[in-house]
Amino acid sequence: MSSLLLLFSLLLYLGLLFLVALFGEGRGRALARNPWTYALSLAVYATAWTFFGSVGRAATEGATFLPVYLGPTLVLLLWPFLHGRLLELSRAHRLTSWADYLFLRYGHAPLASLAAAFLAVGLLPYLALQLKAIAQAFLFLSGERAPLADVAFLTALLLAFFAILFGTRRLDPSERHEGLVLAVAFESSVKLLALLLVGLAALLLLGNPFAEVQKRPELWPLLLPPEGLGGYLDWVGLTVLSGLAFLFLPRQFHVSVVENADPKHLPLAAWAFPLYLLLINLPILPLALLGRIHLPETHPDLFVLALAQEAGPALALLAFLGGVSAATAMVIVEALALSILVSNHLLSPLLLRARALGSLLLWRRLSILGILLLAYLYFRLAGEAYALVAMGLISFAAVAQLAPPALLGLFWKGATREGALAGLVGGILLWAYTLFLPALARSGWLPPVFLEGPHPLLRPEGLLGLGGLDPVTHGFLTSLLLNLGLTVGVSLFTQEAGRAERRTGEVGELARLLGRVLGPEAEAAFLKEAQDLPGLQAAARAEALLTGAVGPATARLLLLSVTEKAPPEALLEEAARESKEVRAYAKALEEARRELAQAYERLKALDQAKDEVLAAVSHELKTPLTAVRALAEILEAHPDLPEEERRRFTGLLAKEATRLSRLVEEVLAYAKLQAGLPLKLQSLDLRDPAQEALALVAPLARERGVALEARLPQEEVRTLTDRDRVLQVLLNLLQNALRHAHSRVILELEPSGKEAFFYVQDDGPGVPEEKMPWVFEPFQSFSGGTGLGLYLARRLAEALGGRVFLETGQGARFAFTLPLEVEHADSGGGRRGEHPGAPGVPPEEGGA
């Protein structure tokens, strides 16, 4: 395959990755915050080691590639709990790495600085592995024999540029980088698809390799479990090693904690990521067997490319891009995470002393470039002597040295900073002696005699005479056990360091400090957020903001200039308690004042409403009283009136008296409603008050020539309610309908779910649209009535826990709802809580 085509494809893919990241920073921001994107971003764990190296390891050592993926899967069983705690700490203290946590837990700057420097060195083999994989794949497909460094160097520069562009736009690294996360999730999809397609094509082209294994005994060990104590220790050791690496790799902390947009994404990721690992490992063993059978002369780390090449150039190019995708995602995120470590814990204290802290962002960018150039240098020095997986496992063992001080710090209060420092130093030294320096010796950069050690019991790869173990397993177990032993032992013999000195300060001074370091936007945001906070809390919040940008040690040094020592703990606790009580009392007073103001406004409204009601009642009573008085005076003054005239006056007198009586009854009902008299609850079949109401308005219907029609169900509709008030509502609705109907009024009862619906419909002209908002207001009559009927109907229905509302359509159709299950009755008998609306009617129409 042409080297120009491969180079063009590599550059084109990186350009596509650049566009995906830009999309994530802009319109794709919501997609970048999706829980599936978060789960896919965790697959940055699967690197070129997975894509190329796992097949190579499976081809030489069989199923021992599996523990590297079993470890994270087992860790994820506890992951929501553990990472939930980490997320809480990270959000409270703006943590960006495990080194930040070590400083937070132990308050010891040298411990965090040592962890940062060690991780930067210990992960160089892992970064070199990715550069080697890309260069190796390029040269294999192009058929050239140029030095591997050529493509590796170009790749390192391009990836450094990408990480700088999308990871260091702002000084605060604790802010999320949506474009970077989306690009990593995209690369995770590409490498999974590419490896699955290569595996499928190889099986279709070359057949089932497991059938061939039965004929070739030399391949049987690849399918068998480990043998002997050494084999089992290797298996268990690699499982534990990979689980700890998943927890403590800087890039995994960055994508799982710093870039987490929502803690609710954790449960999905806890099963989606193991599923991803299962899918990407499905083709590993078949590809390894096919490579051993059909391409025995090819280097095992190149089996994926060689088998893809057998299927055609298109699949070979896809395999190349899949490997590039696996490598670039890891390099970008790891370089960014390591640059934050280096700048926060190594560079920022130096820049602060040199009064050049303003250039920290520039140094962070330069550290990305420097880390990748050092990884390239390690690749040139030692990378060509090791298989891909072996190089990665050396870095895994380095990262695992953080486990004892970090995990013990999380779950054991007795861990001290002296113990953590002793354990970390011991683990680092033994890791270097058993893994890092032997790697240089095997590469020719140290004398080969180094591998023999100064004494048989001190051989780097066989301490105390331990034999039969894989060198990586041996180095990992011995260094981790020494680390753990020193951490626990020294902690037991040292006292816990005193609590870090607590600082307090003025909000204005703290804000100005943030403005000098983080810019005017941070200053304004802090002033708005902390204006009501006491000095102690304001100082803690400012320290958290500075920690995210310049690291915890530098943040604490910066605060010394604008804060002072907080009062003693006892006085502090007493002051905090009194301050809390005062704030609670002030809050209660404010709440009482607000309630009194609201009550006063309600009383004013009620007083005004009372005056309006009295005026309206006086006006309404005056009309029938005047008519009664006039008719009575006529009858008294003219005893000799003709019989026909006397009957007419007597009929008018009876009509006005009836009107007056109805008005008085409605006013009395209104007064009772305002007084809030309790309900007389009883079990009631709602058909009974409906039939009684129809019987009571029948004379009025006959007088007006209107037909009454009842549509009642055959079965009982029973509920617990006040019979008299239900009857009053129905009477008011029926009387209102009879005043407007032309020829017919219909009363319908319909149970529906937890409510019963009464419908009263007439065939009159209906309610004009402009008058609908006033239908239920008191003394708003549009047909000569009192104007209280519909108002009382609605208020009585609400007291019963139901509603009355007007439906639009031909004529007028009023609905009256009653709950069939009363949840809780108030003093007026109403139901508290939500009331389901009528079918097809939104709840806001209930008062229209």
User: Please, what is the average pLDDT of the chain?
Assistant: 80
Q: Residue 315 has what pLDDT?
A: 93
- Mean pLDDT over 393-409 rounds to 89
Say if strands 707-711 and 744-752 run parallel, antiparallel, or are unpaired: parallel
Q: Which position has the higher pLDDT, 630 or 112?
A: 112
Query: Which has the minimum average pLDDT: 541-555, 602-616, 763-777?
Result: 602-616
Say if strands 812-819 and 803-807 run parallel, antiparallel, or are unpaired: antiparallel
Q: Residue 425 has what pLDDT?
A: 94
Q: Is the pLDDT at 615 greater than 70, yes or no?
A: no
- Mean pLDDT over 690-718 rounds to 88
Query: How confident is residue 577, by pLDDT bands cut at 50, 70 and 90?
Result: low
Q: Residue 254 has what pLDDT?
A: 87
Q: Which position has the higher pLDDT, 544 or 788?
A: 544
- Mean pLDDT over 103-126 rounds to 86
Residue-wise pLDDT tens digits, 260-274: 888 888 888 889 999
Residue-wise pLDDT tens digits, 203-213: 999 888 888 88
Q: Is the pLDDT at 396 greater than 60, yes or no?
A: yes
Q: Is 145 helix (H, G, I), strand (E, B) or coil?
A: coil
Residue-wise pLDDT tens digits, 168-184: 766 665 567 788 889 99
Query: Which has the minimum average pLDDT: 331-340, 583-592, 668-677?
Result: 668-677
Most confidently modeled range among 464-473, 498-507, 743-752: 743-752
Q: Which position has the higher pLDDT, 695 or 670?
A: 695
Q: Is the pLDDT at 85 greater than 50, yes or no?
A: yes
Q: Is the pLDDT at 582 greater than 80, yes or no?
A: no
Percent of the chain having pLDDT more than 70? 80
Query: How confident is residue 288, by pLDDT bands cut at 50, 70 and 90?
Result: very high
- Mean pLDDT over 614-628 rounds to 62
Q: Residue 285 has what pLDDT?
A: 92
- Find where tokens 């008058």 sit: 771
Give strand ranges (E) for 486-574.
Answer: 503-504, 564-565
Q: Which position has the higher pLDDT, 3 or 763?
A: 763
Q: Taking a C-beta distance cutoff of 8 angstroms, is the pair 649, 641 a contact?
A: yes
Question: Any residues with CB less than 8 A from the CB of 656 and at least 6 apart, and which?
Answer: 624, 627, 628, 631
Percent of the chain having pLDDT more than 90? 17
Cα separation of 775 and 848, whole Å?
Answer: 7
Q: Where are the alpha helices (DSSP H) in 679-722?
A: 687-704
Q: Taking a C-beta distance cutoff of 8 angstroms, is the pair 9, 141 a contact?
A: no
Residue-wise pLDDT tens digits, 21-38: 889 888 888 888 899 999
Q: Is the pLDDT at 67 greater than 60, yes or no?
A: yes
Query: Which has the minimum average pLDDT: 204-213, 545-554, 571-580, 668-677?
Result: 571-580
Task: Flag whether the pTM goes above 0.75.
Answer: no
- Mean pLDDT over 762-773 rounds to 78
Q: Which position has the higher pLDDT, 168 or 190?
A: 190
Most confidently modeled range among 142-151, 431-440, 588-597: 431-440
- Mean pLDDT over 728-741 rounds to 85
Query: How confident is residue 823, by pLDDT bands cut at 50, 70 and 90?
Result: very low
Q: Which position has the higher pLDDT, 621 or 326?
A: 326
Q: Residue 839 has what pLDDT?
A: 36
Angle in degrees, CA 804, 809, 812, rounded to 5: 50
Q: Residue 647 has what pLDDT?
A: 74
**Neighbour tally for 807: CB within 10 Å:** 16
Q: Is the pLDDT at 570 greater than 50, yes or no?
A: no
Query: How confident is residue 40, by pLDDT bands cut at 50, 70 and 90?
Result: very high
- Mean pLDDT over 693-703 rounds to 85
Cα separation of 489 and 483, whole Å?
Answer: 10
Query: Which has the minimum average pLDDT: 327-331, 424-428, 473-477, 806-810?
Result: 806-810
Question: Any residues with CB less than 8 A from the CB of 585 and at least 6 apart, and which?
Answer: none
Cα separation of 21 and 33, whole Å?
Answer: 13
Q: Residue 793 has what pLDDT?
A: 80
Q: Is the pLDDT at 672 greater than 70, yes or no?
A: no
First-to-final CA distance of the chain? 78
Give strand ranges (E) for 548-600.
Answer: 564-565
Q: Is the pLDDT at 847 greater than 50, yes or no?
A: no
Q: Is the pLDDT at 148 greater than 60, yes or no?
A: no
Q: Which position has the higher pLDDT, 213 or 427?
A: 427
Q: Is the pLDDT at 844 greater than 50, yes or no?
A: no
Tokens coding 163:
């990480």
Query: How confident is residue 774, by pLDDT bands cut at 50, 70 and 90?
Result: low
Q: Residue 369 has what pLDDT?
A: 92
Q: Where are the alpha helices (DSSP H) in 77-123?
A: 79-93, 98-106, 109-122
- Mean pLDDT over 286-307 rounds to 90
Q: Residue 174 has what pLDDT?
A: 53
- Mean pLDDT over 512-533 rounds to 75
Tokens coding 811:
């004529």
Q: Which position has the higher pLDDT, 322 or 570?
A: 322
